[in-house]
């Protein structure tokens, strides 16, 4: 396995969905950063289950404890260990899948690769892991705050409905005002309806998260194999259920001509700026000072409340019963995850750029 992320700001994670605890150790955080358990907790609360009617009803307090690396309220340069105890585990919910491979889950591939598999709640493959990323990301955000860098993600598609309003026309402060995390109230309501409908149908539905990074200084990103957008892409594709990533003009850019797509330079208030921003704030893998923006596509959650055909580890046909407590749509809770992973990437590349 490969459970360490980052080169300088390295996060090393552990834990299974239904084990004793999960946690993350951050190696490489600079000294002198103010850390408050409350700040980490408030990010975790945005991600935690049971937060609204459109998320899973499983309850996890996701209380974080800082075990090391902080002294007198500030980081010391030593590893920061963040620890989250598991609580609301109904492992018996999983007795029916001990040897069964749930469709589009990681049961089958983990079984083949590791043999001795903790099947309870998906074990290590569960999205519970992303709580670790959000906890680490809360510290990364602290570092970015000091640079004036801001990260705002929001839901821009649920199922077949896309909100394609340009991000500059949205008030990103409104994202947290509704349970689906869409800054446009009308779209938010429609998104909630679609999710509700899917839930009623014992089904799940996919969606897209858009993310805007503003205030990024020029010079972040390490060519050739540490390009800012490639690291962001890898980070996003590491999130459970993600199927695609595009930045700047993205897939639409492949339909364009160079003369439309090129971002011509101009001088604005004595600074070099680009007139358009199809580049998405990144040129040659390095930030150019413009807004960075990207989209992340999420498939529908694999656990549905309908019966499905499958097989077990004895190669026998079985029916997987639809039961348990699960999210009908992953994107509302994934907004803080996208932000956290963007923060982890940016801090890592920022620290690399200081060498």
Region 233-292 residues binding its own copies, contact defined as CB under 8 A: 233-234, 237-238, 243-251, 253-259, 261-267, 270, 272, 274, 278-280, 283-288
Distance CA 99, CA 315 (A): 10
C-beta of 42 vs 98, nearer to its own copies: 98
Q: Least distance to its own copies from the beta carbon of 280, Å?
A: 8
Q: Least distance to its own copies from the beta carbon of 331, Å?
A: 8
Tokens found for residue 17: 């969905």
Quick one: which of 12, 41, 52, 61 contacts its own copies (CB under 8 A)? 12
C-beta of 89 vs 302, nearer to its own copies: 302
Other Cβ atoms less than 10 A from the Cβ of 259: the count is 6
Tokens found for residue 156: 């821009």
Distance CA 182, CA 191 (A): 8
Quick one: which of 69, 183, 332, 336 contacts its own copies (CB under 8 A)? 69
Quick one: which of 49, 121, 123, 336 contacts its own copies (CB under 8 A)? 123
Q: Least distance to its own copies from the beta carbon of 173, Å?
A: 25
Quick one: which of 163, 192, 302, 343 contacts its own copies (CB under 8 A)? 302
Going by C-beta distance under 8 Å and a sequence separation of 6 or more, which residues neighbour residue 324? 93, 94, 303
Distance CA 221, CA 280 (A): 13
Per CB under 8 A, contacts with its own copies among 89-118 are: 101, 103-106, 108-110, 112-118
Going by C-beta distance under 8 Å and a sequence separation of 6 or more, which residues neighbour residue 347? 9, 140, 143, 144
C-beta of 151 vs 208, nearer to its own copies: 208
Per CB under 8 A, contacts with its own copies among 214-233 are: 218-219, 221-227, 229-231, 233
Q: Least distance to its own copies from the beta carbon of 168, Å?
A: 20
C-beta of 177 vs 265, nearer to its own copies: 265
# residues near its own copies by CB under 8 A: 142
Residue 24: name the closest of 110, 132, 105, 104 by CA: 132
Binding window for its own copies (CB under 8 A); candidates: 18-26, 90-98, 137-145, 163-171: 18-26
Pairing of strands 282-283, 286-287: antiparallel
Range 276-283 contact pairs with CB under 8 angstroms and sequence separation of 24 or more = 277/248, 278/248, 278/249, 278/253, 279/248, 279/249, 280/229, 280/247, 280/248, 280/249, 280/250, 281/213, 281/216, 281/248, 282/221, 282/227, 282/228, 282/229, 282/247, 282/248
Distance CA 93, CA 106 (A): 17
C-beta of 177 vs 284, nearer to its own copies: 284
C-beta of 9 vs 183, nearer to its own copies: 9
Residue 147 CB burial class (10 angstroms; 0-12, 13-18, ≥19): middle
Binding window for its own copies (CB under 8 A); candidates: 12-20, 40-48, 139-147, 169-177: 12-20
Per CB under 8 A, contacts with its own copies among 35-64 are: none
Q: Least distance to its own copies from the beta carbon of 152, Å?
A: 20
Q: Least distance to its own copies from the beta carbon of 86, Å?
A: 10
| Per-residue binder mask for its own copies (CB under 8 A), 171-200, x = binder | ---------------------------x--
């Amino acid at each position: 396995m490969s459970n360490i992320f980052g080169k300088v700001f390295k996060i090393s994670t552990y834990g299974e969905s239904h084990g004793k605890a999960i946690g993350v150790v951050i190696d490489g955080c600079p000294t002198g950063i103010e850390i408050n358990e409350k700040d980490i907790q408030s990010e975790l609360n945005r991600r935690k289950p049971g937060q609204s009617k459109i998320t899973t009803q499983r309850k996890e307090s996701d209380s974080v404890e800082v075990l090391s690396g902080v002294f007198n309220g500030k980081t010391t340069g030593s590893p920061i260990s963040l620890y989250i105890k598991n609580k609301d585990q109904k492992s018996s919910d999983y007795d029916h899948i001990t040897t069964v491979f749930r469709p589009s889950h990681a049961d089958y591939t983990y079984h083949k690769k590791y043999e001795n598999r903790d099947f309870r709640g998906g074990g290590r493959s569960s999205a519970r892991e992303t709580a670790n990323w959000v906890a680490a990301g809360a510290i990364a955000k602290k570092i970015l705050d000091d640079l004036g860098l801001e990260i705002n993600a929001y839901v821009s598609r649920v199922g077949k409905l896309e909100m394609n309003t340009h991000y500059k026309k949205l008030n990103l402060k409104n994202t947290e005002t509704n349970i689906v995390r869409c800054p446009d109230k009308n779209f938010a309501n429609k998104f909630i309806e679609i999710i509700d409908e899917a839930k009623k149908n014992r089904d799940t539905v996919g969606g897209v998260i858009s993310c805007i990074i503003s205030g990024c200084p020029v010079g972040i990103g390490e060519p050739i194999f540490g390009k800012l957008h490639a690291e962001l892409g890898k980070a996003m594709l590491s999130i459970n259920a993600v199927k695609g990533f595009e930045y700047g003009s993205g897939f639409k850019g492949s339909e364009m001509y160079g003369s439309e797509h090129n971002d011509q330079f101009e001088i604005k208030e004595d600074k070099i700026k680009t007139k358009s921003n199809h580049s998405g704030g990144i040129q040659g893998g390095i930030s150019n000072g413009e807004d960075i923006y990207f989209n992340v596509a999420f498939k529908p959650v694999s656990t549905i409340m309908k019966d499905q055909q499958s097989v077990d580890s004895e190669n026998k046909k079985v029916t997987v019963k639809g039961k348990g407590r699960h999210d009908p749509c992953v994107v509302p809770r994934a907004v803080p995850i996208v932000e956290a992973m963007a923060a982890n990437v940016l801090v890592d590349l920022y620290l690399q750029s200081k060498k």
